[in-house]
Amino acid sequence: MTGWLAVAADIALRRPARDRLYRVQFTELQVTVGRGQPWELDGEVMGTTRSLKVVAQPGGLLLRIPPQSA
């Protein structure tokens, strides 16, 4: 299993994600990528973008992402 499916399985089965998760804490995060990527808000695809800024209240958000693809 790879990607989001593996992450979802780890969460559902309450097992350690080991090398599939990278944890960061932030109040503001700017992500910029080389080509447009789809982005979601509450599970709805909102469009594509090359840059996304996320501002969070401290302790108010837990974000799980798969590791960078090789």
Q: What are phi and psi of 18, to 5 degrees?
A: 50, -115
Domain holding 48, by residue range, is 24-70
Tokens linked to 28:
């503001």
Question: 16 lies in a domain?
Answer: no
Question: 10 lies in a domain?
Answer: no
Q: Which pLDDT does position 7 carry in this prediction?
A: 73
Ranges under pLDDT 70 in the chain: 1-3, 17-23, 61, 69-70
Question: 15 lies in a domain?
Answer: no
Collapse the DSSP code of 55 into the 3-class scheme (helix H, G, I; strand E, B; otherwise coil) and give the result.
strand
Q: Which pLDDT does position 46 carry in this prediction?
A: 92
Question: 57 lies in a domain?
Answer: yes
Please count the structural domains in the chain. 1
Question: 4 lies in a domain?
Answer: no
Rg (CA), the chain: 13
* pTM confidence score: 0.45
Question: 17 lies in a domain?
Answer: no
Residue owning tokens 């944890």: 23
